[in-house]
Structure 1
Amino acid sequence: METRLSLRYTGPAVDEGLMDVYQASANMIAFSEFMVTAVKATFGDAADAKANVAGFGKGSFITDLVFSVGGPAATIFASFTSDHLVTVLQEAFGLWKHLKGSPPTEVNQSGQSVSVTNNTGQIIQVQTDTLNLVFSEKGADSVGRFIKDALNQTGITGVEIASKGEPVAHVAQHEADYFVPVAKESPVSENVVTMALILVAPVFQDGNKWRFSDGTGTSSFSAAIEDQTFIARVNNGERFGKGDVLTVEMRIVQTRTSNKISVERVVLRVLEHREAAQQPSLV
């Protein structure tokens, strides 16, 4: 199975031939990665897609996508056509615009159809394949690069995708920020623990997170501090240095977004502050 898609940018920078060559290359790579992800979301992980650049025009490039599949999945794959992939693409861009950069408030599945409610109460119907593409980490990452990042470049005002000369999707500059991860988070666990943290970097600006290590040799992490009594001590000039130890009550929340687990840490209360051990003088 083969299909040919074109990606075209519009705007003054394109008209004047001023699109940065590195940005153009990054856009091509991101679009190809997105299409490979779209193929797997549409036809399954058994599908193997390869993108080949077929030609260039002013403000655009064309890529040939060749799909192949083997083994038991081949008979299922054979029942689909490239038109099915194009439909998934159309629905995916429509879903990103529908959600406007925010996770859905409700998702209801009935067979292969899914109704998705955005945060203003509007509902859209899409296929399960479409939802999987939009909620996938790879799909969100790649579309963000060739849509959102590209449209934030000076002189780029629009992006168009076409198949066989027919428009598939169009994104205007004011819609750029819709193309971000929108998978709904679900809580996995929440615990409050008492532990000692090694201070890596204090932050004295309101609202910023301090950086800590738990001393196990793993990488450091950031955590907000909600203890207002401790914040008052900081504002009154209490001294802090790298390597100081804070004994704290910390809330650790794990959430799942698609196949990714994320962790948020918040210091609820600082129980003790111990300065770093000083190296004894040899003199």
Structure 2
Amino acid sequence: MDMAQHSRFHLVYDGPALTEHKMNVRALAPALLAMGDLVERANEILNGNQAKVSVNVNASFKSGSFGVDLELAQSLWQKVLDFANSHPVTGILAIVGLLGLGKDTVKGVVQVVMWLRGRGVKRIEPLSNGLVRLYVDNDHMDIEERVLQLLQDYKIRRGLEGVIGEPLQKEGIETVAVVDKDAKKVIVSIDRVQAGYFKAPEPEEEALQEDEYATSLQVLNLAFQDGNKWRFTEGGGNTYYATVSDYEFLKRVQLNQEQFAKDDIIKARVRRIQRLTKDGLKADYEVLEVLEHRGASPKVQLRMDFGPTQQD
């Protein structure tokens, strides 16, 4: 029993450099990897862990271009096993359409990026039936909420940059197109002039949590210049750089009133700010106040048993 859904499309790179049906592996390999990342990320956003996708590649040739047949397979076993508790799965045909690479006419991510032309969205207005309206300058476009969800994801935008934007920066590659070979129809075509539209915007960093706590820190590296960060560990592999903003403590250090030996320990009040960045979860640390400073050598327990008191 075949519990998988398939989609096939033809990705074509065209230009003077490809007249002999050759494409530099340094351009092709990253583009194909980016296509895999793009489809897998879209499936992850829309389906979570309910379905898995795979991207298979077959090279094909046409005069003056380099074409790649892509077969996308989506396993639906997880949906069958967890049917009672699962949300409806977005099929691979729909995923390709929402990305703007499918045979059906739809305003997918690719079409929205080409419409935006690098312009920023001024306002997003929710509509009915799962649609939203994007406003740019005096223009607007209505798209599915799912397309907006993909459009706003940094990994999706990086995938499109890898498949479309970066190859078009290579000398001799002038066009990237998705073609329906059966219908002999070009689904979407992007030229070198439009390549810049597909450069992924830098994502905004999002502050997730800020907290303050008292902890013991082992000093690994000191910084004696203003603005430099000290390196600490809290033990258990949690090592980080932190700004020390306790002015009185720093003044004592500069006057040699506080002297440090290797791996000295301070008890301090610390502020931690966690941020979501394009590279994942990050944290910034600041030592607000040094409460205590002691050496790293543990104390030896002295056994002082004097025995029973002697009576004269």
Cα deviation code 1:7-48 (max 9, x no counterpart): 638798x78999763563233112122123334545775454
Whether 1:133 aligns to 2:157 is: no
- Please, which of 33, 46, 61 is the counterpart of residue 68 of structure 2? 61
Hey, what does 1:218 align to over in structure 2?
237
The answer as to whether partners of 2:168 and 2:191 remain within 8 angstroms in 1 is no
Query: Residue 264 of structure 1 is aligned with which of 283, 294, 299?
Result: 283
Larger Cα-atom Rg: 2
- CA deviations 1:179-210 (Å, max 9, x no partner) are 1563773x543222232322334456776654
2:224 & 2:196 partners in 1: Cα distance?
35
Which residue matches 1:166? 187
CA offset digits 1:236-274 (Å, max 9, x no partner) = 89876762434433222335679x983532315242574
SS at match of 2:36: helix
Identity rate of aligned residues, in percent? 17
CA shift at 1:65, angstroms?
A: 2.3
In the alignment, is the contact (CA less than 8 A) between 1:244 and 1:275 conserved in 2? yes
Does structure 1 conserve the Cα–Cα contact (< 8 Å) formed by 2:27 and 2:170?
no
SS of 1:29's partner is helix
1:113 maps to which of 131, 138, 149: 131
Alignment-derived partner of residue 52 in structure 1: 56
DSSP-derived class of the 1:182 partner: coil
| SS of match in other structure, 1:133 | helix
Matched, 1:200 2:200: no
Amino acid at match of 1:131: L
Please, which moves more after superposition, 123-132 or 157-166?
A: 157-166
2 CA distance for matches of 1:81 and 1:116? 21
SS at match of 2:148: helix
Q: Structure 1: 5+ residue runs without aligned partners?
A: none
Bigger helix fraction: 1
Instruction: State TM-score, norm by structure 1.
Output: 0.62
Check if 1:249 corresponds to 2:272: no
Identify the match of residue 2 of structure 1 among 3, 7, 19: 7
